[in-house]
Amino acid sequence: MDKKPVFYGWWIVAGCFLLTFTGIGISINSIGVFLKPVTESLGFDRGAFSLYFTIAALSMALAAPFMGKLLSKYNIRVVMGIATSLLALSFFLYSQSTQLIHFYLLSVLLGIGSAGTHVIPVALLITNWFQEKRGLAIAIALAGSGIGGMLFNPVANYLITTYSWQTAYMILGGILAITTIPVALFVVRIHPSEMGLQAYGDTTEATETTAELKGFTLGEAVKTPGFWLLALVLMMIGIMNMGVQHHVPAYLNDIGHSPAFAANIVALFMGVLVLGKIVLGSIFDRYGSRVGVIFIFTVFALASFILTGSKIAAVAILFGLVFGFANAIMTIPAPLLTAELFGQKNYGVIYGVMSICYTLGSGIGMPLSGSIFDSMGSYLPAFYLYIGLAIFTMIVALLALNIGGKALAAHPDYYDGEEISI
């Protein structure tokens, strides 16, 4: 009896896992380790240096909608091959930077590369390849960022303390190249129909193409209140999450913990993040988006509160454990809520525009916390701000689901008016 081959969509998930493992795990989730060494070495203010991440985020945001169109219109392997190469090269060249302008200019290239490596492709690929188990698939794919952060934060800290921050940038840039470029060139396929397959859980004919999928066009979506409410939610998520995450190492150092301890706390929450993403994806699949939204925003507020008492080592460890679940807020809700509110017809373009919002928020959060520290001498006011934003944003997200869900159900070509299940 012949053994049934593994559905190729799971190979897509594995490839996406690698893209986020280093594409996010290094270029986003590990940059906090560089904050204090680089600023002390080159004499930069933390707020000014943090702007290099803001510039990368703005670059990602501006590139995202164009990248969504490029990935759908042209050969996805060529587009992603260029993007992954650009990402790795720009991160490597941070090692040669001696002035703020060098970091700023390279961040423009890094943002463009990121948009075509993980920001848009992962969500687009998983949405195209999975109708059922989409939450689980996106959680597994995005779990790579947590594992990458868990591994590369202590690796980066070791390289910085043993050699230099320049050496750390060079080595991590090389790792980015060898893990992302082959996936882009040899693994990805934009849609199951390219291989004579259909999406996991799809009961329609295998010949169905993306042109026959249902949902809003971008022009229709922007006319709905749900679009703007979700845009606000995603921006607030970016502000909160990056405002906390990237300042954890510096904050723990400032309150008396060693750089190694701080790096290990980051590694801890990045490790727990793997489980956090799978749990959150499963909650969205099993209990629906409303329960998922309430769960993740509540956990985020709790983690931020615990962080304020992290002068005690045991409390810092507790923060690491809880924030591992809370950190899933950055990756799981955005693609799932976008698909739920607007369907799949123009998902790549709509998600590209939506990603602008949380990317802009990400760019605001890191320098916002840095500026609050520079002006007030403490991170605590920033952390209290994010607790309040978490509660506010949860309410807005629930409102977006109520309004947006009704709009999609009323759309004339949307699945015969039946409500989507994610």
pLDDT reported for residue 207: 47
pTM of the model: 0.71
Q: Is 223 helix (H, G, I), strand (E, B) or coil?
A: coil
**Where on the phi/psi map is residue 410: left (φ > 0), alpha (ψ -120 to 50), or beta?**
alpha
pLDDT reported for residue 212: 60
For the chain, domains (ranges, CATH) are 8-417 (1.20.1250.20)
Closest by Cα among 245, 250, 285, 234 to 397 = 234
Read off the DSSP letter of residue 346: T
pLDDT reported for residue 204: 64
Using CB atoms within 10 A of its CB, is residue 62 exposed (0-12), middle (13-18) or buried (19+)?
Answer: middle
Cβ atoms of residues 91 and 26 within 8 Å: yes
Phi, psi angles (nearest 5°) of residue 308: -65, -20
pLDDT reported for residue 185: 92
Using CB atoms within 10 A of its CB, is residue 277 exposed (0-12), middle (13-18) or buried (19+)?
Answer: buried
pLDDT reported for residue 332: 84
pLDDT reported for residue 415: 46
For the CA atoms of the chain, what is the radius of gyration?
20
Q: Give the separation between CA 420 and CA 214, rounded to whole angstroms.
A: 11
Q: Which residue has the tokens 């329960």?
A: 291
Q: Give the separation between CA 357 and CA 238, rounded to whole angstroms.
A: 8
Q: Is 14 helix (H, G, I), strand (E, B) or coil?
A: helix
Q: Give the separation between CA 118 and CA 279, rounded to whole angstroms.
A: 21
Q: What is the DSSP string of 28-52?
A: TTTTHHHHHHHHHHHT--HHHHHHH
pLDDT reported for residue 87: 96
pLDDT reported for residue 208: 45
CA 329, distance to chain mean position in Å, is: 9
pLDDT reported for residue 97: 92
- Positions in the chain short of pLDDT 70: 1-3, 203-213, 408-422
Q: Give the separation between CA 76 and CA 134, rounded to whole angstroms.
A: 21
